[in-house]
Structure 1
Amino acid sequence: MMLPIKTEHTNVLLGAPKDWKPETDGECIALPVHRDEANGRWLSWYRPTEQDIANILAGKPVRLSIFGSGHPPVAIAVTDATDL
């Protein structure tokens, strides 16, 4: 799974949703983001691993998982298929 990276633009760290249970939901690391108030955006950056790059070059899709109901913590991963 690609891990988010902190950049010079990071101005907020988003934590797990209120009802997140690590024992059943897994670990939820803080997501470093840039809150762009002027444009109503949240921006986050990810650095792919060598394996991620190889998988993308092999044509595997990238999946974005969203947890919560606002602009929540997210996870981006290279997957074998577009299954849920």
Structure 2
Amino acid sequence: MLPIDFPETNIVLGKPNDMTDEQCMPLNAYQGHDDDGFHFFLTAWVPNKEDLEALNAGRPLFLKVVGNGFPPLAMYTMDVQNQCNSPR
């Protein structure tokens, strides 16, 4: 998966101070608040050919969080009307 810039981007998240440029790159994001008032960051990712093959074969999508905490997370896609394909 490759992170991409998207029209709603309003912040660029930098790498942690203890990581090198080879270990982590800047990440374009949207910073906002959801309908419940919770602060969030939204990033966009595009699957490469191998990712699409894996997903189409029914293999799972993994999410890795680096650090000592595990914040609430969500993963989803958008439909053609730009609506979230998630249960919430």
TM-score, normalising length from structure 2?
0.63
Q: Which residue of 1 aligns with 2:61?
A: 62
User: How many angstroms apart in 2 are the aligned matches of 1:64 and 1:58?
Assistant: 18
Question: Structure 1 runs of 4+ off > 4 angstroms?
Answer: none
Q: Where is the strand percentage greater, Structure 1 or Structure 2? A: 1
Q: Which residue of 2 aligns with 1:76?
A: none
Q: Which residue of 1 aligns with 2:44?
A: 45
Map Cα deviations across residues 22-57 of structure 1 (whole Å, 9 max, x no partner): 5xxx43111110001464111011111121111111
User: How many angstroms apart in 1 are the aligned matches of 2:69 and 2:16?
Assistant: 10
Structure 1 residue 15 displacement after superposition: 1.4
Q: Which residue of 2 aligns with 1:29?
A: 25
Structure 1 residue 60 displacement after superposition: 1.4
Q: Where is the helix percentage greater, Structure 1 or Structure 2? A: 1
Cα RMSD after superposing both structures: 2.2
Q: What secondary structure sits across from 1:42 in the alignment?
A: strand
User: How many angstroms apart in 2 are the aligned matches of 1:19 and 1:70?
Assistant: 16
Q: State the aligned residue count.
A: 67
Indicate how the Cα distance of structure 1 residues 47 and 13 shifts in structure 2: closer, same or farther if over 3 A, else same. Answer: same
Q: Which residue of 2 aligns with 1:12?
A: 11
Q: Which has the higher contact order (CA 8 A, sep 6+)?
A: 1
Q: Sequence identity, in percent?
A: 31
Whose radius of gyration is greater, 1 or 2? 2
Q: What secondary structure sits across from 1:33 in the alignment?
A: strand
